[in-house]
């Protein structure tokens, strides 16, 4: 099935004559149709759909629901349109498909207008102009789709996984949890409301996104990131300001990991599906792969930097004296064929930028020690990015029963260092390649949790990939491997910052980015045209600061409102008094205060706030009048 989605202000049609002799005769009231403010679906039913009409309709409904949710449409028009395909279904099966589709959509709560099948019609359509108003998709029955998104044995195992859940307190007390009537019981969550939400989310194991999270509207309003209708769902476009923030985060994370001792490498984006070590690893990693058929082999797009670094480590000559050894890569991109209902703005994507740092450790004691060194690296990194530690996160800890029983001191020490209760999932035996894993999760306004920082103790992959080191006796040994993503996917860091800002706005605080990430750090606003040339000379005094000039000629109030909508942290107003005194009247977004200061003082303030963090220049023209609008 092929579908052209149009988000429309209006669709009108009128039946002219039969295109198929077998088409049913229509009463006068069905020969015309009109619908307003609707998602219009021009659809071609294809030959392959005849094999599984039910499966095709099920997938079509899922796609229509997804697009309708994105454009916030509750009204749908189904318009049979043979011109989208050269391999059309026969008229009988096609009619059955359109009939089922109409029935299922009505049952799903949509107001549906179904244009008659088998007729030539004249029609008038008025399409809205936003980025998601025109989309096209190929839809296949569930079985065909599943063949393209192959699930590993680990994904299947995870679906069958039976876990024990606990809350572990910093003092070591362990509280078994259970679900009662959809609510988590077994621990007094008073004072830990976010932990309760996180536990509910994890224990229910429901990843489907039913509502658009607040950060999606913000990322689009601020012209940072947007959906890309020309790509697969879960692949986004980054506008100039969004690319600046993403680039700064990438640079900062890499800087910190290299300072820690991670040796930066680069590995391919595509791998041989039949490689014996990789094939084995695929079945121990809970991710859905993108499969690619190259001219000479079946391949898959990487879902992490793990195996690229493992293949490098396989060829390295390593002594026990050199351990721990850390390899690092920031992947642009990693790919996971996440299910469509789970995709959600920057929170869950199919293509994402993942910093991965693997450390080879001689034994379990060294692995435990190194894991806590990296804990401190991640803690400081997220704190310096702009998160509150540990208040902004909830820990999910996953551990095998055997590891827990043998390492209670380590597990309890971890909880003590975190300083707040953590959620622990304990497995009866080892399902995956790791025996211990932690995740620092951000819980958003939709009660969904997304892991940022994570590290794991891997007991399998050294042997699987033939990674060895020489011990003090000259014998080859397999190291333990730690898997650290110090920040999680860069896109998720942006998600967390935007969701945090949405919480701030709800609480009456001004939403904003940390100054070092703000696309525009200082906005100069002349009170009148008389101060414009003076402001232009002032721009040169803000070297090392992303400063721009509002030269749009609007009223002062309108210019200030524009800067506030763009979350500019420092708005500097320049009138006659400021020109004469060589000073600025500065509105400070973070404190809502207004201060008088010199240009040099303002520059010094911004420079101090970004100390120790990377800097990039303004990503747009420094005069607003020369700046394009990315989203009309």
Tens of pLDDT along 15-27?
Answer: 999 988 888 889 9
- Please, which residues have CB within 8 angstroms of residue 106's CB and are 6 or more apart in sequence? 112
Q: Does 58 score more than 60 pLDDT?
A: yes
As a whole-number percent, the residues of the chain with pLDDT over 70 amount to 95
How confident is the model at residue 430, as a pLDDT? 82
Superfamily assignment of 153-498 in CATH? Bira Bifunctional Protein; Domain 2 (3.30.930.10)
Q: Please give the order of strands across the beta sheet that includes 270-272.
A: 270-272, 298-301, 291-293
Q: pLDDT of 445-458, one tens digit each?
A: 888 899 999 999 99
Same fold, 2-148 and 515-626: no
Buried b (16+ CB within 10 A) or exposed e, 554-579: eeeeebbebbeebbbbbbbbbbeebb
How confident is the model at residue 339, as a pLDDT? 77
How confident is the model at residue 207, as a pLDDT? 57
Q: Does 443 score more than 70 pLDDT?
A: yes
Reported confidence tier of residue 287, pLDDT bands at 50, 70, 90: low
As a whole-number percent, the residues of the chain with pLDDT over 90 amount to 75
Q: Does 232 score more than 50 pLDDT?
A: yes
Of the listed ranges 137-146, 367-376, 618-627, the least confidently predicted one is 137-146
- Please, which residues have CB within 8 angstroms of residue 76's CB and are 6 or more apart in sequence? 38, 39, 40, 41, 64, 68, 105, 110, 111, 112, 113
Buried b (16+ CB within 10 A) or exposed e, 431-448: bbbbbbbbbbbbbbebeb
Q: Does 151 score more than 60 pLDDT?
A: no
Reported confidence tier of residue 158, pLDDT bands at 50, 70, 90: low
What's the mean per-residue pLDDT of the chain?
Answer: 92
Query: Which of 115-129, 267-281, 515-529 has the largest mean confidence?
Result: 515-529
Q: How would you class 105 by CB atoms within 10 Å of its CB: exposed for 0-12, middle for 13-18, buried for 19 or more?
A: buried
How confident is the model at residue 278, as a pLDDT? 83
Q: Does 632 score more than 80 pLDDT?
A: no
Q: Does 149 score more than 50 pLDDT?
A: no
Q: Which structure tokens are listed for 348?
A: 């869950």
- The span from the CA of 236 to the CA of 226, in Å, is 6
Span 140-154, average pLDDT = 52
149 or 424: which leads in pLDDT: 424
Three-state secondary-structure class, residue 193: helix
Superfamily assignment of 515-626 in CATH? Anticodon-binding domain (3.40.50.800)
How confident is the model at residue 229, as a pLDDT? 87
How confident is the model at residue 143, as a pLDDT? 45
- The span from the CA of 501 to the CA of 159, in Å, is 34
- Residues 172 and 44 sit within 8 Å (Cβ to Cβ): no
- The span from the CA of 510 to the CA of 514, in Å, is 12
Span 540-553, average pLDDT = 96
How confident is the model at residue 155, as a pLDDT? 55
Q: Which of 632, 200, 121, 228 is nearest to 443 (CA)?
A: 200
pTM of the model: 0.77
How confident is the model at residue 145, as a pLDDT? 41
Q: How far is CA 384 from CA 256, 262, 466, 510, in A?
A: 11, 19, 38, 20
Q: Does 74 score more than 90 pLDDT?
A: yes
User: Which position has the token pair 């009223």?
Assistant: 555
Reported confidence tier of residue 146, pLDDT bands at 50, 70, 90: very low
How confident is the model at residue 141, as a pLDDT? 78
Architecture of the CATH domain 2-148: 3-Layer(bba) Sandwich (3.50)
Query: Which of 284-288, 296-300, 387-391, 426-430 has the largest mean confidence?
Result: 387-391
Q: Which of 356, 362, 388 is nearest to 374 (CA)?
A: 356
- The span from the CA of 111 to the CA of 96, in Å, is 20
- Residues 315 and 185 sit within 8 Å (Cβ to Cβ): no
Q: Please give the order of strands across the beta sheet that includes 351-361.
A: 174-176, 163-168, 422-427, 394-400, 434-443, 449-458, 480-484, 351-361, 325-335, 263-264
Q: Is 454 left (phi over 0), alpha (psi -120 to 50) or beta?
A: beta
What are the residue ranges spanned by the domains of the chain? 2-148, 153-498, 515-626
Q: pLDDT of 462-495, one tens digit each?
A: 999 999 999 999 999 999 999 999 999 999 999 9
User: Which position has the token pair 């293949």?
Assistant: 311
Helices and strands of the chain, counted as H and E runs: 18, 30
- The span from the CA of 388 to the CA of 503, in Å, is 13
- The span from the CA of 356 to the CA of 257, in Å, is 9
- The span from the CA of 304 to the CA of 287, in Å, is 10
Span 383-411, average pLDDT = 96
- The span from the CA of 226 to the CA of 221, in Å, is 9
The crossing angle, in degrees rounded to 10, of helices 490-506 and 214-221 is: 100
How confident is the model at residue 157, as a pLDDT? 57
Reported confidence tier of residue 211, pLDDT bands at 50, 70, 90: confident
Distance from chain centroid for Cα 155: 20
Q: Does 144 score more than 50 pLDDT?
A: no
* Total length of the chain: 632
How confident is the model at residue 525, as a pLDDT? 98
Of the listed ranges 17-21, 129-133, 301-305, 518-522, the least confidently predicted one is 129-133
- Residues 457 and 367 sit within 8 Å (Cβ to Cβ): yes
Cα 321–Cα 327–Cα 332 angle in degrees, nearest 5: 180
Q: Does 209 score more than 80 pLDDT?
A: no
Of the listed ranges 49-53, 541-545, 546-550, the least confidently predicted one is 49-53
How confident is the model at residue 551, as a pLDDT? 96
Reported confidence tier of residue 147, pLDDT bands at 50, 70, 90: very low
Of the listed ranges 195-209, 242-256, 428-442, the least confidently predicted one is 195-209
Span 573-595, average pLDDT = 95
């Amino acid at each position: 099935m092929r579908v052209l989605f149009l988000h429309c202000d209006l669709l009108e049609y009128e039946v002219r004559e039969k295109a198929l002799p077998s088409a049913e005769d229509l009463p006068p009231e069905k020969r015309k149709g009109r619908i307003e403010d609707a998602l219009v679906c021009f659809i071609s039913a294809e030959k392959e759909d005849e094999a599984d009409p039910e499966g095709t309709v099920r997938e079509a409904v899922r796609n229509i629901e997804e697009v309708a949710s994105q454009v916030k449409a509750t009204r749908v028009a189904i318009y049979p349109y043979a011109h989208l395909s050269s391999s059309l279904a026969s008229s009988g099966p096609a009619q059955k498909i359109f009939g089922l589709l109409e029935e299922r959509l009505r049952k799903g709560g949509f107001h549906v207008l179904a244009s008659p099948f088998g007729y030539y019609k004249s029609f008038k359509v008025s399409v809205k102009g936003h980025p998601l108003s025109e989309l096209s998709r190929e839809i296949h029955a569930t079985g065909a789709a599943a063949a393209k998104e192959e699930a590993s044995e680990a994904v299947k195992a995870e679906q069958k996984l039976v876990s024990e859940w606990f809350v572990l307190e910093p003092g070591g007390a362990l509280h078994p949890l259970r679900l009662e009537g959809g609510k988590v019981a077994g621990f007094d969550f008073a004072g830990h409301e976010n932990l309760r939400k996180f536990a509910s989310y994890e224990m229910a194991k429901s990843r489907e996104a039913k509502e658009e999270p607040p950060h999606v509207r913000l990322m689009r309003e601020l012209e940072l990131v947007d959906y890309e209708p020309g790509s697969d769902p879960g692949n986004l476009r980054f506008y100039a300001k969004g690319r600046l923030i993403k680039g700064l985060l990438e640079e900062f994370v890499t800087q910190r990991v290299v300072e820690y001792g991670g040796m930066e490498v680069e590995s391919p984006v595509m791998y041989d599906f039949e490689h014996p070590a990789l094939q084995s690893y695929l079945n121990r990693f809970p991710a859905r792969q993108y499969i690619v058929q190259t001219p000479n082999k079946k391949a898959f797009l990487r879902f992490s930097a793990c195996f690229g670094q493992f293949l490098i480590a396989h060829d390295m000559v390593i002594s026990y004296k050199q351990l721990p050894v850390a390899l690092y890569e920031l992947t642009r991109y990693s790919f996971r064929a996440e299910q469509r209902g789970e995709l959600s703005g920057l929170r869950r994507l199919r293509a994402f930028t993942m910093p991965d740092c693997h450390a080879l450790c001689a034994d379990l004691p060294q692995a435990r020690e190194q894991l806590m060194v990296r804990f401190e690296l991640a803690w400081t990194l997220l704190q310096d990015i702009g998160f509150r530690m540990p208040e902004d996160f909830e820990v999910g800890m996953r551990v095998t029963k055997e590891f827990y029983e043998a390492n209670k001191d380590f597990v309890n020490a971890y909880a003590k260092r975190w300083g707040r209760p953590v959620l622990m999932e304990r497995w009866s035996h080892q399902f995956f390649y790791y025996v211990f894993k932690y995740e620092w999760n951000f819980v958003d306004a939709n009660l969904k949790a997304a892991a940022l920082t994570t590290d794991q103790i891997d007991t399998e992959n050294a042997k699987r990939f033939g990674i060895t080191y020489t011990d003090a006796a000259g014998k080859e040994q397999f190291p333990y491997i730690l898997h650290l993503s110090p920040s999680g996917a860069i896109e998720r860091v942006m998600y967390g910052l935007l969701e945090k800002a949405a919480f701030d706005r709800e609480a009456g605080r001004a939403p904003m980015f940390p100054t070092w990430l703000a696309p525009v750090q200082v906005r100069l606003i002349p009170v009148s045209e008389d101060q414009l040339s003076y402001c232009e000379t002032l721009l040169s005094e803000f070297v090392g600061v992303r400063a721009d000039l509002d030269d749009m000629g609007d009223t002062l109030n309108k210019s200030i409102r524009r800067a506030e909508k763009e979350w500019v942290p420092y708005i500097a107003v320049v009138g006659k008094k400021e020109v004469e005194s060589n000073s600025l009247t500065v509105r400070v977004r973070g404190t809502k205060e207004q201060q008088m200061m010199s240009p040099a003082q303002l520059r010094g303030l911004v420079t101090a706030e970004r100390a120790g963090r990377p800097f990039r220049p303004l990503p747009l023209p420094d005069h607003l009048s020369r700046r394009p609008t990315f989203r009309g």
